């Protein structure tokens, strides 16, 4: 599932997700646009902020 879809389903703007995941909003935008590869730490912060299983962010179902 795409990061943008998960973010929107959680009701977050990019800025809100960035705050929850302790990262910059432009970094969220780059991840959504597939312009950068997230680190393990970034994936962990995003999964916690979105309340989803880590595996969903790396392409799991």
In the chain, where the domains are located: 3-57
Q: Which CATH class is domain 3-57?
A: mainly alpha
In this prediction the pTM is: 0.90
Splitting the chain (61 residues) into consecutive groups of 10 residues, what average pLDDT does each group show? 91 98 98 94 97 86 57
pLDDT for residue 1:
58
The pLDDT of residue 61 is: 57
* C-beta of residue 61 within 8 angstroms of C-beta of residue 32: no
- What SS3 state is found at 44? helix
Q: Give pLDDT, residue 59.
A: 82
Q: Are 46 and 61 in contact (CB under 8 A)?
A: no
Structure tokens at 19: 């705050």
């Amino acid at each position: 599932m795409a990061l943008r879809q998960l973010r929107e389903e959680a009701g977050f703007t990019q800025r809100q997700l960035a705050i929850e995941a302790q990262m910059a909003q432009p970094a969220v935008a780059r991840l959504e646009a597939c312009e950068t590869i997230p680190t393990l730490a970034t994936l962990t912060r995003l999964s916690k902020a979105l309340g989803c299983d880590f595996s969903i962010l790396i392409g799991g179902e």
